[in-house]
Amino acid sequence: MPVNPAFSLPAPDTDTIRADSYRLRADARLIEEPDGRIVLEQSRYRLHLPGLEAGRKAVLLRMEEDWLSDLQIAQLVTGLEGGSRLLSAQLLVRRLLMHSWLERRVSAGARALLDVVPRRIGPQNVPPRRQQQPGTAYRMSRFAVLRAEPGRMAAYSPLSTVGISCLHPRLTAVLARACAEGVQLADVADELDVDTATAGLLLEELLAAGLLLTPEEAAAETGAAPMAFWSAEELWLHDRSRAERHSAPIGATDRFRGFPPEDLGRTPAAAPRSSVALPEPPCAVQGDASLAAVMARRRSLRRHDDSRPVTLTQLGEFLHRVQRREVRDGGGGRTSVRPYPGAGGLGELEIYPLVSRCADLPGGLYHYDSVHHGLTVVAPPGPETERMLSFARGTAAMSAPPQVLFVITARVGPLMRKYEGTPYALALKDAGILTAWMYLVATDMGLAPCALGAGDAAAFSALAGLDTLSEPAIAEFALGSCPPTARKPA
């Protein structure tokens, strides 16, 4: 008997039916122990799942390799254990999802649109749902970034515990439009060729991930404290080096242990360079003031006495007291002992004195050999050294170039070999410690110190011939003789 057309139901549009599917997060692994227990492991986190029956264990094993929808989970569990165990399997998946062990894929029919990628692990790390408002033109957060990952393009905000993997080729166009004039519900539907209901759900995923903002939120990012104070680069550096919104490996993971070992010392230059031996300072240095007195006298002095510039003996004593190094072999490998503490005893910081005026020492750029206590000539005076000194004079607001400009570099290889997430931040912290140490030693010696906020890294790299990804310049420090009005009282 034919069906009355008046009572027939329309067939579902398989291109618009929303479906979620799940898999184990890409940076985690599943371990099946000899006693049959399942353990999930990610970086510093481990989750033991004892007592899993065949259906739930099969779900986890499959999700390590591929995506499973709710329907596929139900079919797998029912086929292995029967329908009575389906609820237990569903609760397990929801528990893993809420604790950020699973990635979630949003699809419309057969089309995968985006993945929600957790950054952190643990309870209360899934961001709350944000309902989109029709008619609102959403803007992209100025802190959001797009980056290539294996097999996908991902978008992240350092202010969110989840990221978004852009599977639909036009999803990045949606984000680009949000950067330009803002994006509305209809724009998402048009760009992705989905219905408004699906477009609304996608907007809510982007809002929850902190990638899209309301106009008021976007204005606060640039016009209100504290957000307006942060640059995107500084916030991302802070985010990566602190375990706050992510669970990425951090600390001494030794992830490059298979690479050829790198000596704690510097690689010798390809061509031999002339050297200047520095006089050894006396065992008992001349300063006799207490630490408290030296700290009380510490000042940034921006004038030097060019009629009596710093001497080679003073320069040698200063470098010996702030940067001398002794390399020691121990059970844990080689360590570098300096006068100040440093990350892992690696001694990654190097000092390059650029001499403008120094009694008994020709001008030019040198490298301080902290093991043999000597100076190696890097480059004679020239246009590039003048550029560096002019830049330093302007940065420090000095009336004349500094007598000696110290460029502090970091051999980041040893740090990056040992630490993950923090190596560059550690180099900056070590440079801060060295700078403070230089202030105290200079003050005790009656010299004029001044730390600089920036330097001409391009001119320095051209002179030194260093790979800026292997040994970048990260700090500068000016030193000279004190003018009469600022000398230490006798």
Q: Can you give the pLDDT at residue 31?
A: 96
CA angle 134, 136, 163 (to 5 degrees): 95
Q: Can you give the pLDDT at residue 16?
A: 56
Q: Which residues does 65 contact at the CB level (< 8 Å), separation at least 6? A: 23
Q: Which token pair is 411? A: 């051999």
Residues 38 and 32: beta-carbon distance below 8 Å: yes
pTM over 0.75: yes
Residues 121 and 170: beta-carbon distance below 8 Å: no
Chunked mean pLDDT (size 10), the chain, 490 residues: 41 62 97 92 93 94 96 95 93 96 94 96 91 95 95 94 96 96 96 95 97 97 92 92 88 83 56 81 65 81 92 96 84 77 91 97 96 94 95 93 96 89 93 96 95 90 88 94 68
CA dihedral 93, 97, 102, 108 (to 10 degrees): 90
Q: Which domains does the chain have, with CATH numbers?
A: 11-250 (no CATH), 275-486 (3.40.109.10)
CA angle 221, 222, 223 (to 5 degrees): 105
Q: Can you give the pLDDT at residue 417?
A: 87
Q: Can you give the pLDDT at residue 250?
A: 86
- The rounded distance, in Å, linking the Cα atoms of 410 and 354 is 17
For residue 471, which of 414, 386, 391 has the smallest C-alpha distance?
A: 414
Integer CA distances (angstroms), 383 to 62, 390, 393, in order: 64, 10, 15
Q: Please state the φ and ψ torsions of residue 356, each to the nearest 5 degrees.
A: -100, -50
Q: Can you give the pLDDT at residue 4?
A: 42
Q: Is the dihedral of CA 16, 18, 19, 25 positive or negative?
A: positive
Q: Which residues does 8 contact at the CB level (< 8 Å), separation at least 6? A: none
